[in-house]
A and B are shown apart, each in its own frame.
Chain A
Amino acid sequence: MAAAGVSYGSRNDVTERSSPSVKAAVVDYGLGNLFSVRRACEHVGMEVVVTPRKEEILGTDVVILPGVGAFGDAMATLRRLDLVEVLRDIANSDRPLIGICLGIQLLMSESCEFGVHKGLGIIEGSVVRFENPQERKRLLKVPQVQWNRIFHPNHRRQEGDPWRDTPLAGLAEGEFMYFVHSFYVRPTDPSVTLSVSRYGDVEFCSALRWRNVFACQFHPERSGSAGLLVYRNVASAVGQARGGSAA
């Protein structure tokens, strides 16, 4: 399904730095290191505001929900900051919403991390823990902390390049990204899955897309040049959408 507000170009279209007028909000809800997300945005030419305030968030072109830490704490903080409805509204608007790491998990209906917690409910599905992942009979550590590869999901193999016109545009299938997590998302509708990865004998959704929502379990801001391309794609698509509407 084509997104309403932004379209992600092919790799050839994104070599130019985006206009510095593209403004990104990095939602600051008190957890984790938001600085690397800021640096990556700045590196591809976006103007960044790191903020917990909804007025500021609403004044930007693209909203990034990052995060490491516990699901329950994060949701409690988002509620306290009165951001739950704001994020849901953004998801239903034309404005791109990007979830990273814990951010992808928060989009789901619920998580079973230390008891069952309700999520933002933007994407229907659940968040589950790696249960004794094994590789060649060796038990793997949880959290998964490693560079892991992202692949096209099986159901989209017929499509040619399923990452065309998405933030993953231009990446080779099997590209390495940096992951740190113990939980992963299980969307109810498998068609939202944009990439899959494998940890031992578990295959999981490592990136998803629904309308203008893009989210990934890996950290593109810590994934070298391949990860920066994801930010570049976002900046470029937003810049083009703005340019289009201004003309």
Chain B
Amino acid sequence: MNVRIIPRLDIKGPNLVKGIRFEGLRVLGKPEDFARRYYEHGADELIYMDVVASLYGRNSLLDIVERTSKEIFIPLTVGGGLRSVEDIRRVLRAGADKVSINTAALARPDLIQEASRAFGSSTIVVSIEAIRKPNGTYEAYVDYGRQSTGVDAVEWATRAAELGAGELLVTSIEREGTGKGFDLELTRKIAGSVPIPVIAAGGAGRVSHIHEAIVEGRADAVCVASLLHYHYFKDNDYDESDFQTEGNIEHLRRKGGLANVEEATLPGIKEYLLAHAIGCRWPQQACLTGAETT
């Protein structure tokens, strides 16, 4: 079994952003630039999450997806604001391989069944964003972590799998962007109760956290963001005028890191996992990789 390392790129308008617990979004660059670098450096898949679509309607996400899918040849999952089979079709036509749905699926669970029938189970990722309650259970949230639902996250996971989800993306909202490590109990509870693969998300701040998510959390794949973004964004050269109207660029200007987050590279993560007896894909032929990265 080879675990997948999946960079998650949160997108707001034309920009890659990153927040903490989905809030205080910082602009870090252009998603296509990060996508290309991650592809070249051995990312196993990519996730694009449109962080405002479910609240404010559509934007240029489809254009970004189309541009990206011409240059990267690994699976691309796209989510954020998809409400219907027709929405899903549009994103797939733009070049996504899978879609991630959360808000719309909780509002109308049959969407999972309809979508998996129309496009195949493996195309449908159900995203579950959860907050731990004082009694130790987990509640599913929608609208980018803003809206509670009263639905038990573990029960919802089981139901989503029964309805035909191909994979589950499980995010701890409290850990998201904090660098404090994954909520291993949440990951383990869900991974242990569904027959389909579970992607752990929210909290990776050290490479060792990924190891924990796999060994203790029983995750089949791991989603990372800050861990990579804050390393890779230093390499990018930007014209600040590109970002003038797009919110908080202070971080971009300073090229600073994040207190709780170490900087990692994809090859570094893979090397660490292999050294700790965790199977993962590593670049087989350096010359071949070099030849193809146009």
Task: Show the binding face of A for B, using Cβ within 8 Å.
Answer: 15, 31-33, 35-36, 39-40, 43, 68-70, 135, 138, 140-143, 145-148, 170, 172, 174-176, 178, 180-181, 200, 219, 221-229
> Smallest CB–CB gap between B190 and chain A, Å?
12
Q: Is A39 in contact with B292, judged by CB distance below 8 angstroms?
A: no
Inter-chain contacts of B123 with A (CB < 8 A):
32-33, 68
Q: Is A225 in contact with B69, judged by CB distance below 8 angstroms?
A: no
CA distance A200 to B279 in the complex (A): 12
Inter-chain contacts of A180 with B (CB < 8 A):
122, 166
The answer, yes or no, to whether B137 is at the interface (CB within 8 Å) is no
Q: Is A145 in contact with B166, judged by CB distance below 8 angstroms?
A: yes
CA distance A148 to B44 in the complex (A): 11
Inter-chain contacts of B73 with A (CB < 8 A):
36, 39-40, 43, 221-225, 227-228
The answer, yes or no, to whether B244 is at the interface (CB within 8 Å) is no
Which residues of B (208-240) have their CB < 8 Å from a CB of A?
220-221
Known: A32-B120, A33-B96, A143-B121; 19 extra A-B contacts, CB below 8 A, are: A15-B291, A31-B120, A33-B92, A36-B95, A39-B73, A142-B195, A145-B122, A146-B221, A147-B280, A172-B284, A178-B44, A219-B75, A221-B73, A222-B97, A223-B73, A224-B292, A225-B293, A226-B288, A228-B73
Please pick, from B3, B120, B195, B288, the residue contacting A229 in the complex, using a CB distance under 8 A: B288
Q: Is B1 in contact with A140, judged by CB distance below 8 angstroms?
A: yes
Please pick, from B74, B166, B291, the residue contacting A222 in the complex, using a CB distance under 8 A: B74
CA distance A222 to B45 in the complex (A): 9
CA distance A6 to B42 in the complex (A): 33
Assuming A33-B97, A225-B293, is B44 touching A69 (CB within 8 A)?
no
Smallest CB gap from B92: residue in A: A33
Range of interface residues on B (Cβ < 8 Å): 35 or more
Please pick, from A140, A200, A228, the residue contacting B292 in the complex, using a CB distance under 8 A: A228
CA distance A174 to B195 in the complex (A): 27
CA distance A45 to B152 in the complex (A): 50
Please pick, from B2, B119, B195, B282, the residue contacting A33 in the complex, using a CB distance under 8 A: B119
Inter-chain contacts of B2 with A (CB < 8 A):
146-148, 176
Please pick, from B93, B166, B196, B284, the residue contacting A175 in the complex, using a CB distance under 8 A: B284
Inter-chain contacts of B39 with A (CB < 8 A):
224
Which residues of B (89-141) have their CB < 8 Å from a CB of A?
92-97, 119-123
Smallest CB gap from A31: residue in B: B120
Inter-chain contacts of B196 with A (CB < 8 A):
141-143
Assuming A35-B92, A222-B73, is B220 touching A174 (CB within 8 A)?
no
Inter-chain contacts of B95 with A (CB < 8 A):
35-36, 39
From A31, A141, A147, A224, residue with most partner B Cβ within 10 Å: A224
Inter-chain contacts of B44 with A (CB < 8 A):
147, 178
CA distance A225 to B281 in the complex (A): 13
Q: Is A222 in contact with B289, judged by CB distance below 8 angstroms?
A: no
A–B pairs, 29, beta carbons within 8 Å: A15-B291, A31-B119, A33-B96, A33-B123, A35-B69, A35-B93, A36-B69, A40-B73, A68-B119, A68-B120, A69-B119, A135-B1, A138-B1, A141-B196, A142-B195, A142-B196, A143-B122, A145-B4, A147-B44, A148-B2, A175-B285, A176-B2, A176-B281, A180-B166, A181-B122, A222-B73, A224-B39, A225-B292, A226-B288
From A39, A140, A172, residue with most partner B Cβ within 10 Å: A39
Q: Is B74 in contact with A178, judged by CB distance below 8 angstroms?
A: yes
Smallest CB gap from A231: residue in B: B73
Please pick, from A43, A68, A141, the residue contacting B220 in the complex, using a CB distance under 8 A: A141
Inter-chain contacts of A225 with B (CB < 8 A):
73, 285, 288-289, 291-293
The answer, yes or no, to whether B13 is at the interface (CB within 8 Å) is no
The answer, yes or no, to whether B70 is at the interface (CB within 8 Å) is yes
From B3, B70, B120, residue with most partner A Cβ within 10 Å: B120
The answer, yes or no, to whether B257 is at the interface (CB within 8 Å) is no
State the 8 A-B residue pairs at the shortest beta-carbon distance, nearest first: A225-B292, A68-B120, A147-B281, A69-B120, A176-B281, A180-B122, A141-B197, A145-B197
Inter-chain contacts of A224 with B (CB < 8 A):
39, 73-74, 289, 292
Q: Is B220 in contact with A145, judged by CB distance below 8 angstroms?
A: yes
Q: Is A226 in contact with B285, judged by CB distance below 8 angstroms?
A: yes
The answer, yes or no, to whether B176 is at the interface (CB within 8 Å) is no
Inter-chain contacts of A15 with B (CB < 8 A):
291
Inter-chain contacts of A148 with B (CB < 8 A):
2
